[in-house]
Chains A and B, each alone.
Chain A
Amino acid sequence: EAGVTQFPSHSVIEKGQTVTLRCDPISGHDNLYWYRRVMGKEIKFLLHFVKESKQDESGMPNNRFLAERTGGTYSTLKVQPAELEDSGVYFCASSQGGGRQPQHFGDGTRLSIL
C-alpha cells in the first residue's frame, strides 16, 4: 500500500510568487490534514478535510493560503503571494476514519522563500 505522497519535495521561490503543493493521501482515507513546521518550532495544524469538505481550517495563517480537495482525493495547498515567513516544511497526513484513527504523514515539502 502506497503511503502519503507529497510533491514537490523541495520548492524554492521568490517572495511574491505563487506555489502550489500537492498531497496524495493513502487510498481510501477520507480524512486529510495539512500541517506546517517553521524552523525551530513545533509542527502546527493548518486544516482538515473530510472528503472534499473543510472540517476545520482554524490553523490557516491568513487568506494567502488556499487549500482544496476537489473530488475528495488529492489535495492542493496554494500560497499566493508567498512571503518570507511562509518558509518551512509542509506536511500532509491522512487517516481512514475519525476520532482516534492514527494519522499517517508524508515526507513533507520543504518550501523556501527568498
Chain B
Amino acid sequence: QKEVEQNSGPLSVPEGAIASLNCTYSDRGSQSFFWYRQYSGKSPELIMSIYSNGDKEDGRFTAQLNKASQYVSLLIRDSQPSDSATYLCAVILSGGYQKVTFGTGTKLQVIP
C-alpha cells in the first residue's frame, strides 16, 4: 500500500463546476497535509495546508480533512480552464519531521 494515494485521473469537469480531488494516506499519526498545484514543466506550488479535522477555505479552494478516515480532499469551486493542472496531495508522516511524502497527483482538466 502506498503511503499517499491519489487517483491519477484525468478528472474532467466543465467550466464553472466544482472539482473534487481526493487523497488517502496510510499513516494514522500524520499531522500535516498539503495540496500543491503543478503545471507542466513548472514547480509544485503550495495552494492549501490543513492540520485539523474539518474544512479550511481559501477563496475558491476548500481543503477537507478527516483523520479518522485518513482522508483529505480539495474542492475547487467555479472551476476555470486555468485550474487545469496536476494536483499533488502531500503529507508529513509521523516521525517524518519535515519530510514531505507526495502522492502521484491527479490531473485535472477543466473544459471550457
A, B from the same assembly = yes
Bound CA–CA A56/B99 (angstroms) = 8
A42-B4, A42-B103, A42-B105 are known contacts. Are A98 and B98 too (CB-CB below 8 A)?
A: yes
A42-B4, A100-B49, A102-B34 are known contacts. Are A4 and B99 too (CB-CB below 8 A)?
A: no
Confirm or deny: B42 has a beta carbon within 8 angstroms of a beta carbon on chain A.
yes
> Which of chain A's residues have a CB closer than 8 A to the CB of B46?
102-104
Inter-chain contact A45/B100, CB cutoff 8 Å: yes
CB within 8 Å of B: which of A64-114? Answer: 91, 95, 98-108
CB within 8 Å of A: which of B1-45? Answer: 2, 4, 32, 34, 36, 41-45
Confirm or deny: B108 has a beta carbon within 8 angstroms of a beta carbon on chain A.
no
Inter-chain contact B102/A42, CB cutoff 8 Å: yes
Inter-chain contact B42/A99, CB cutoff 8 Å: no
Inter-chain contact B104/A42, CB cutoff 8 Å: yes
Bound CA–CA A35/B101 (angstroms) = 10
In angstroms, how far is the closest chain A Cβ from the Cβ of B10? 15
> Which of chain A's residues have a CB closer than 8 A to the CB of B2?
42
- Count of CB-CB pairs between chains A and B under 8 Å: 57
Inter-chain contact A4/B43, CB cutoff 8 Å: yes
In angstroms, how far is the closest chain B Cβ from the Cβ of A110? 8
Give B41's nearest chain A residue, CB to CB: A107
Inter-chain contact B105/A55, CB cutoff 8 Å: no
> Which of chain B's residues have a CB closer than 8 A to the CB of A103?
46, 98, 100
Confirm or deny: A12 has a beta carbon within 8 angstroms of a beta carbon on chain B.
no
Inter-chain contact B43/A45, CB cutoff 8 Å: no
Confirm or deny: A48 has a beta carbon within 8 angstroms of a beta carbon on chain B.
yes
> Which of chain A's residues have a CB closer than 8 A to the CB of B34?
102
In the complex, besides A43-B102, A55-B98, A106-B43, 16 extra interface pairs with C-beta distance below 8 angstroms are: A31-B98, A33-B100, A41-B104, A42-B102, A42-B103, A45-B99, A48-B97, A48-B99, A56-B97, A59-B99, A98-B98, A101-B98, A105-B36, A105-B45, A107-B42, A108-B43
